Amino acid sequence: MSTSVRFVLTYVAVLTTMLTWWLAMKQAATIGSLALVVVAYAVPVAAWWAVVARTRDGQTVHDER
Amino acid sequence: MNVEWSAVLGIGLISFVVTLMLFPFAGRAKYQQYRPATFVGGVLFMPLFISIAVTLQAGWSLTETALILPVLFVGFWGSAAWLIRTPTQGSFVRGLEVGSRLNFRPDLILPGGVMLVKGIILIGVGMLISFQDALRLPQWNWWGFVLAFFGIITIIPIRGVAKMLARRSRFLGNSPPWQGTIRWTLLVVGLAVLLYGFLSAFMGVVPFAADGLRPRAELAWLAVALVGGGAASLAVREIWKRSLLEGAETPLQRFSSNLWMLVSVWAYMYGFVVLFMGRIMSPQLGSNPGGVLLGGSLFGFGVVLILITRPIALRRELVGTINIMVGMLAALEKEARWQMMVGRIRTIASYPTNQCTWHVGAMFSALGSLPTIDRERVEATRDEVMMSLSSQERQALMVAMDQLQAA
């Protein structure tokens, strides 16, 4: 698959996620819908913490034991 | 079903930027070398705009919205301030070339640009809230955001790339006279679009519509004086910056440069407020203490972004540009590498001593971060170029190296 096709597919996926998130917050129409903000950020932040934050400057931080 | 097309368009634009920033153009294996973790984290928080928009449009009670909005704005601020942690050392990666001599590196230009734009937005929202005669929060109109988006694009990526190209030119001994004018034009035009767009968005009106914001005749002279004065002050700042030694500026000079920009941009913004409101507005502490507290806090957050975090981000951008330039030297064909190296070394040798020393140190540091095979390739060309220099140029570089060793 070419880079441009992969880019377009990624864009469609990101756009769909964002629109779904926006619609869910809008439809909930209560202050509780802000929980969706927390959930939406908890997932990528948890993933970031689990995968990316364990590395430093692109190099895996090895267990020092 | 009634589709809110302005929101779909606005969210589509945000999604495009997020995709462009995070897409693994040079593959996933070395992803973290060209998209550092802190940068990824900062970009992931960009869509927080969407939740701010939903909150402002939701029709909740004033108390509920007044409690939630600051939390979201702190996230909005934090996602920009966080970008000062973005590391740029040793970050040249093959596969990101745009043309033969430019890398697609939004992680370099994004932090400084985002801090400027978000700083301006926070200062503007802070003023709008504190200028009301009772606690009133901004509204939201997606068409206003869509217009403002083009101001954001002008100030962050377009101006950022123009700055980077001009800097590369300067580093190679070319100093095109147009660079200051282009930077100034992009800032002044981008600001006008950004301010009118966000003022419309936060006033809840469609830009350029019959019932949208229109220039008022009252105090138009003051508005023109403030907008013109702010723009003129930014132009004088560009001229002043030419006298600074790039890379070897003192901390006071860097702070003064950002303070100068902040004051000029504030005058420009206030001119817009006077132009579209037709009156002089000021914080209403007596009738709106909550609004002044909230607005003042947002104003303060914006000032911190422009005065404190942005200078750090710009410094890292400078160091990152040198790192990438040195990495790119290794990737070039021998002839092209030689030509680029001649330009770079001759330029450094022509600098005043303290500037020369700083750039020699930065080049050595960048060289040290390259893999051995790339470093040896660049060092071989450097040694050849050194042989071709005049004795005066060699002497200047020797003095710089002596000073580095002494330090």
Q: Looking at residue B88, what is its pLDDT?
A: 55
Secondary element (H or E) of residue B72: helix B62-81
Q: How far is A62 from chain B (nearest CA, A)?
A: 16
Segment B343-363 mean pLDDT: 93
Average pLDDT in the B225-229 region? 97
Under the banding of pLDDT at 50, 70 and 90, the label for residue B361 is very high
The phi, psi pair for A59, rounded to 5°, reads -115, 135
Of B369, B379, B380, B381, nearest to B92 by C-alpha is B369
Which pLDDT belongs to residue B184?
A: 96
Contact with chain A for residue B98, Cβ under 8 A: no
AA letter at B172:
L
Task: Enumerate the residues of chain B whose CB falls inside 8 A of the CB of residue A57.
Answer: 32-33, 36, 87, 89-90
C-alpha to C-alpha distance for B85 and B337, rounded to whole angstroms: 32
- For residues B248 and B355, is the Cβ–Cβ distance under 8 A? yes
Summarised one tens digit per residue, pLDDT across range B98-119 is 665 666 777 778 888 999 999 9
Position with higher pLDDT, B193 vs B160: B193
Res A41: pLDDT: 73
Contact B30, B91 (CB under 8 A): no
Q: Cβ distance B110 to B156 under 8 Å?
A: yes
Compare B324 and B204 and report the one with higher pLDDT: B204
Mean pLDDT value across chain B: 89
- Give the contacts of B205 (CB within 8 A, at least 6 positions apart): B141, B144, B211, B212, B213
The residues of A whose Cβ lies within 8 A of any Cβ of B are 3, 6-7, 10-11, 14-15, 18-19, 21-22, 25-26, 29, 31, 33-34, 37, 41, 44-45, 48, 52-53, 55, 57-58
Please name the member of A3, A14, A21 whose beta carbon is closest to the beta carbon of B18: A14
Task: Give the tens place of pLDDT for each residue, B332-350.
Answer: 888 889 999 999 999 999 9
In 3D space, the residue among B166, B101, B170 whose CA is nearest the CA of residue B330 turns out to be: B101
pLDDT at A54: 57
Q: Kindly determine whether residue A57 and residue B87, on different chains, have CB atoms separated by under 8 Å.
A: yes
Phi, psi of B369 (to 5 degrees): -90, -5
What Cα–Cα distance (Å) separates residue B179 from each residue in B42, B75, B182, B238, B294? 29, 35, 5, 10, 39
**B230-280 pLDDT, tens digit each:** 999 999 999 999 899 999 999 999 999 999 999 999 999 999 999 999 999
Tell me which amino acid residue B38 is.
Answer: T
Backbone φ and ψ for B97, nearest 5 degrees, come out as -70, 135
Sign of CA dihedral B156, B157, B160, B166: negative
The interface predicted TM-score of the complex, written ipTM, equals 0.81
What is residue A23's predicted lDDT score, i.e. its pLDDT? 87
Inter-chain CB proximity B60 and A53 less than 8 Å = no
Among B13, B197, B38, which Cα is nearest to B108's?
A: B38
Judge whether residue A62 has pLDDT over 50. no
Kindly list the distances between the CA atom of residue A10 and the CA atoms of A37, B43, B141, B153, in Å, as whole numbers in the listed order: 22, 15, 28, 21
**Least confident stretch, B51-65, B108-122, B262-276, B352-366:** B51-65
